[in-house]
Structure 1
């Protein structure tokens, strides 16, 4: 495995070298053709003096390779090389010369380094040189056969040179396009960095959405209000919400509701009833007023503002005009924040994948190779009758296998992400399923997930917090059971990870797991709680939007769940 990895690495470096130094393929072709011509000389019935001419062509090839570092020098060097080649062909058998195929090398180099003009120049010099040698009086020269062979190889070499020129052109065009794309990306990112530092406010879309709801509260009455944006999977995700404990509105874009109508018609929807609570085949009947107003930039909708109140006809023309001004003023800031979050999410995902590749192709492969070396040493020690060494090596091999397994789980952690359609519950289930097969404890998973989605960045942060808490329990707690509870009712969510292990220990100076979890919770504006669990173990809870959460499950000394309202001593 180590050898294969090294071969792949060398091949990648070679491809990069060819792209950066086009003269390398030309030199390689010269060497290959010289070896081939020498092989033809060895198997042919030719005089021994021909070897001197092969040496002369090799010397001319070296000179041409050196001079090709300069455009004019390359032209001169290839011309000298072709002239020496023509003389060598004339003195080593004419149409039967083993050096005839070598013409491909200088013409190919001319096409690769100087495009079609370079290939044509080299082939033209070769044709002139061959004509001169053919016109010279020689006793054993068959002019017809020599002319045919010379013409054939000149045309073949010219075609090879033109193919090289075409390949070089494609390579440069691809390189120019790639550089242009990077230049454009660099320019845009530089502008983004400069503009973001000059912005008077934050690029956080939640802050903008909450500020919009606050401004709307001063302009219109409502019992509940929300700012929603469209996320991947054609779902509306609430960025800010005020009013009821849970946002139970029917906001499906594929349904029959004011939100779908506002998105499709791009017009404000005002109804004399309140919003429906969840998808229902029957229209809502609760009297009141509801409003859905598109948040747009130009002709494109970026989000929706939803309001409802139990007062009838609460949203007249004057209120609509004021709300329209507020929404138009916040639309660009909101869309900019959402776009910035998407860019940051893409960059974070790509960086995590890059780290996973580096770990897999680097230290993981090296450790696996060391494991094979340990196996070989152990076999040698066993044959030599050294049981103590075999035992020590066996322990070392087990530790090496454990480290490799941990690395593979780390790679899985880095590559795990919330699917655009599956949601946090699906990603968490897949992760727990993978961890459960490699861990010694029993995992109890509880999912309570509505059809609506949290913002993508919030789902990603919650998944990472769960991964950190589960890994801490797996590595350090020595637990028999792990409870994972995930409740998602946007804009609220609750994630709880508990174990019945040894509990919280003294923190190490080089341990940053808890601090990273706190930073992730802060970015999601979530409340993080880490405390000892009763009767034993650790409780990690993170809540988004909820003022509190449900109490953690209690287990007896055998690890069995005690029903709510009973103590461990009271029994079932």
Structure 2
């Protein structure tokens, strides 16, 4: 075995050990490409994740020159390039030299900083089996083309990273499934124990009110019955939040069912075809739950309007009521109406949420989530 081949085998073993141990996606990607750079002729690397709609995201980068790092790598994050086009067209079967890179050219021509001799790069798809996740790009100063051996090394590393990405995604899915199962167990336990006890207390209080002839005792029992009924309603809402019945029939049916459970009537309008990932549906449902809870508790109305618009890249959900409204202070944390939790949920999915409200003129909430 030649010295170069021996060093490549050692490098691949070192990368494989890191990939097998790491469970965080970001640390795994950056750790792998740094090891690749330290053990090869490559001197800069970056990874794009590319979704099914063609949107690319800079997922990791290592040792970029100032021209590419400027303004949080804006030249890598914006615009198109030949490697991404070949990826979309299905013409990137092997590691390839890219003769012209629009991103690098734009960075150099805009005087974004020193490119440190980097003018070209090589690229390879990150995949596991037939499932593709994005691109691994590498570059070196004053290098237009990499040799076949160097491209073969790049392919081997890309195969390792692709397998690791698939493993982490599957692990994440298993964790989410376990979380759903735990929620379902808690919901069943609450329904079978606490929920039934509250119902029994309600019946007992009703019976005590009827059986007693003392007006004060009757009033006390009625108060107990009222408070227990309120607690029962809160418990049913909590069970809904733990295990949203109806999501199996679609997001809108689940939201409508939850609204009806709260005593709210809904007006629905939809544009576009609703085929959303389950994670996006649950995020929207959780935000809608909080919004509907707020309407029931604070708006003073029993009717809500829901508008949903679905495009190939994102979904917009609008929740509107004509109730009391409130004054919005963006710098104020308002746990009583759950603004922060709704904002956090949307942000966690790369989305946004906005409020429009005036005293006496109702509230409108706009939630936009990419998928």
Contact 1:453 1:490 in 2 (8 A): no
SS in 1 for 2:234: helix
1:435 counterpart = 2:282? no
User: Any idea what the Cα deviations from partners look like across 1:172-224, whole Å, max 9, x if unmatched?
Assistant: xxxxxxxxxxxxxxxxxxx9996326962479xx9844237959977616679
1:301 — aligned with what? Answer: 130
In structure 1, the residue matched to 2:58 is: 211
1:487 maps to 2:315: no
Q: 1:301 to 1:345 in 2, by over 3 A?
A: same
Gaps (5+ residues) in structure 2? 1-17, 31-46, 51-56, 61-75, 95-123, 136-146
Residues 341 and 457, structure 1, Cα contact 8 Å, conserved in 2: no
Check 1:342–1:193 CA distance in 2 against 1; reply closer, same or farther (3 A cut): same
- Partner of 1:195 in structure 2? 22
What CA deviation, in whole Å up to 9, does each residue of 1:115-167 have, x standing for no partner? xxxxxxxxxxxxxxxxxxxxxxxxxxxxxxxxxxxxxxxxxxxxxxxxxxxxx
In 2 relative to 1, CA 199–501 (structure 1 residues): closer, same or farther, beyond 3 Å?
A: closer
Tell me, in whole angstroms, the C-alpha distance in 2 between the residues paired with 1:366 and 1:193. Answer: 49
TM superposition shift of 1:327: 6.5
State how 1:315-330 maps to structure 2 within 5 Å: 325=155, 328=159
Partner of 1:377: 208
Map of 2:348 onto structure 1:
523
Q: Is the 8 A contact 2:29 2:161 kept in 1?
A: no
For 1:368 and 1:451, the matched residues in 2 are separated by: 38
Aligned partners of 1:508, 1:331: CA distance in 2, in Å? 41
Aligned residue in 2 for 1:446: 269
Q: Give the one of 206, 222, 232 matched to 1:404.
A: 232
Where do residues 67-106 of structure 1 align in structure 2 (5 Å cutoff)?
none
> Which aligned segments of 4 or more residues in structure 1 are displaced greater than 4 angstroms?
191-194, 212-219, 221-226, 324-330, 417-420, 505-510
Q: Aligned-residue CA RMSD in angstroms? A: 4.5
TM-score when normalising by structure 2 = 0.58
Name the residue aligned to 2:367: 542
How far has the Cα of 1:525 moved from its partner? 0.6
Q: Is the 8 A contact 1:521 1:527 kept in 2?
A: yes
3-state DSSP of counterpart to 1:544: strand
> In the alignment, is the contact (CA less than 8 A) between 2:314 and 2:370 conserved in 1?
yes
- Whole-Å Cα distance in 1 between the matches of residues 243 and 230 of structure 2? 20
Structure with larger RCO (C-alpha < 8 A, sep 6+): 2
- 2:237 is the counterpart of 1:413: no
Q: Please list, as runs of the form range in 1=range in 2, the aligned pairs for 1:96-135 lying within 5 A after superposition.
A: none
- Distance (Å, rounded) in 2 between the aligned partners of 1:192 and 1:267: 23
Deviation at 1:473, TM superposition (A): 0.8
2-structure distance, mates of 1:358, 1:193: 38
Q: Is the 8 Å Cα contact of residues 418 and 459 (structure 1) preserved in structure 2?
A: no
Sort the Cα spacing of 1:485 and 1:344 in 2 relative to 1 into closer, same or farther, 3 A. Answer: farther
Distance in 2 of aligned mates of 1:202 and 1:327: 11
* TM superposition score normalised by structure 1: 0.39
Q: Relative to 1, partners in 2 of residues 1:451 and 1:377: Cα closer, same or farther, differing over 3 Å?
A: closer
Q: Distance in 2 between matches of 1:410 and 1:533?
A: 29
> Contact 2:325 / 2:361 at 8 angstroms: preserved in 1?
yes
Does the C-alpha gap of structure 1 residues 340 and 526 become closer, same or farther in structure 2, counting only changes over 3 Å? farther
Q: How does 1:85-484 map to 2 (within 5 A)?
A: 195-196=22-23, 200-201=27-28, 208-209=49-50, 210-211=57-58, 220=82, 296-297=127-128, 300-303=129-132, 325=155, 328=159, 331-381=162-212, 385-416=213-244, 426-436=250-260, 438-439=262-263, 441-450=264-273, 452-454=275-277, 456-484=278-306
- Asked if the contact 1:345–1:457 (Cα under 8 Å) also holds between the matched residues in 2, the reply is no
**Deviations along 1:407-434, whole A, 9 cap, x unmatched?**
11321232116857x5xxx222233134
- Rg larger for: 1
CA 1:494/1:509 → structure 2, altered by over 3 Å: closer, same or farther? closer
1:513 and 2:335 are equivalent in the alignment? no
Q: Name the count of aligned residue pairs.
A: 269
Of Structure 1 and Structure 2, which has the larger fraction of its residues in strand? 2
| Cα offset, 1:335, TM superposition | 2.0
Unaligned runs of 5+ in 1: 1-190, 227-257, 269-292, 307-317, 547-572
Distance 1:430 1:305 in 2: 34
